[in-house]
Amino acid sequence: MAKGLGKGLNALFPGESLSKAETVEHIHVKSIKANAYQPRKTFDENAIEELSASIKEHGILQPIILRKIGMTYEIVVGERRFRAAKMAGLQEVPAVVRVFTDEESMELAILENLQREDLTPIEEAEAYHNLMENLGLTQEQLAFRLGKSRPHIANHVRLLSLPEKIRNYISKGKLSMGHGRTLLSLRKKEQIPLVAERVLKEGFNVRQLERLIQRMNEDVPRETKPEKKQELFLAEHESKLRDYFGTSVTIKKTKNKGKIEIDFFSEDDLERILELLNE
């Protein structure tokens, strides 16, 4: 974790008190702006309204955390409280002003939202990507710092390679993260939008989508019944391997022999898969 973040992390946990050396100031809402690194793109309006009603009745129980930039203040932690306070008509909000670098401000803003665990899969993926890009971290280093598994990080970041329209479907809950990961296993990437539209139209679950993509990747003609039974058997095991490795896995079998193909998309992705194989 970046140097100096220890005091900032106090703000992430409501039960912890502020440092004795710190004072709470009342800052005018017009002097405060959102964090440029805020990973959350959409806020639950109902939740903000509920928090606003609570603030009207009880006030803001925990000050927000700001850093000063020129003549204005940037939110480091507490944007939901700030939005609710503005909705409640407050002109000033209680705040603690601390000194943070851009990197520290970004990491704290992202950590606060990850603690809540209600980011969309795409917001979470973008948060991981921004942390790696701006802090110069590998997937393994980031996983260690956040207490996540490396496959968890990798599986989210891979979603960012989907077309923007598909990422929007996932953000809006029309498609699941599982759908997104499965769509990435299509060998002809240009077919992803068309397949996604079919999933929405026909209501495919992830397993049905996996079977469709397997047929598309293999371009297999209509099978006889024994072949169909074996295809389903192999598809089930492919599905288990896809879940484990977080990427497309194909089992090819002819009579008494065959091979297993595991797709990877970068050096980092290959290293991740090799680590899983070693485990």
Q: Which residues are catalytic?
A: 79
Nearest to 186 by CA among 87, 263, 279, 244: 263
Strand partners, 260: 251
Q: From the centroid of its chain, how far is CA 141?
A: 17
Question: In whole angstroms, what is the distance from residue 132 CA to residue 139 CA?
Answer: 7
Question: Which residues have C-beta within 8 Å of that of residue 228, sequence separation ≥ 6?
Answer: none
Spatial separation of the C-alpha atoms in residues 245 and 149, rounded to whole Å: 12
Cα separation, 228 vs 230, in Å, equals 5
Rounded Cα distance, 219 and 251, in Å: 14
Other CB atoms within 10 Å distance of the CB of residue 223: 13
